[in-house]
Amino acid sequence: MRNTKFKIDETNGTYTVASPVTEKDILIMARWLAKNRLAKGRCIERPSSAFIYLQALMGSYENEVFGSLFLDNQHRIICFEEIFRGTLNVTNIHPREVVKRALAVNAAAVIFVHNHPSGEPKPSEADKKITILLRDTLGLIDVRVLDHIVVGAKACISMAERGLV
């Protein structure tokens, strides 16, 4: 990211403000950092390690967005993609498209993520049903579904940690 307002030292992870910044500048930088942390090759040891980054990326969306963290066999990130965009309280998810993307990037595993614009990250019945459908569908092509993370305004919930995957 080219931003003359921030000086970034990649070796120790420090960031210095070089000139006055606005709240918008800070939010842009936070999203950039979140995307950088979800970059290719980073290992996801447990889904909760991605919470802070996913929340920075998706926590402020006004509409529901469904995405996938596609992983290799060692749980290293291949890519993060926002696949479907919906309305205020629903996103239509098409398993065929998820399968196509998983095959296109040669994923061995996947972590699903979507936001709840209401701010409440509690999984809905529809969330539970689509997770099971996607898990079963992807299982047919040997892609493991590790988790489905629901992003709220102040917290994230791992459906796997609740036994829902």
pLDDT in tens, 94-109: 999 999 999 999 999 9
- Whole-model pTM: value is 0.79
**Tell me, what's the pLDDT at 143?**
98
- Above 80 in pLDDT, residue 110? yes
d(CA 15, CA 149): 29
Burial 147-160 (b: 16+ CB within 10 A, else e): bbbbbbeeebbbbb
The set of residues, in sequence order, having a beta carbon less than 8 Å from that of 45 and lying 6+ positions away, is: 75
Report whether pLDDT(21) > 60.
yes
CATH code reported for the domain at 42-158: 3.40.140.10
- Average pLDDT along the chain: 87
Query: What is the dihedral angle through the alpha carbons of 152, 154, 160, 165, rounded to the nearest 10 degrees?
Result: -10
Question: What pLDDT, on a 0 to 100 scale, did the predictor assign at position 18?
Answer: 72
Average pLDDT over residues 77-95: 94
How many percent of the chain have pLDDT more than 70? Answer: 84
Q: What is the 3-state composition of the chain as percent helix, strand, coil, each rounded to the nearest 5?
A: 30, 25, 40
In the chain, ranges of CATH 3.40.140.10 domains? 42-158
**Distances in whole angstroms, Cα of residue 141 to Cα of each of 70, 101, 121:** 14, 12, 29
Q: What is the pLDDT of residue 35?
A: 66
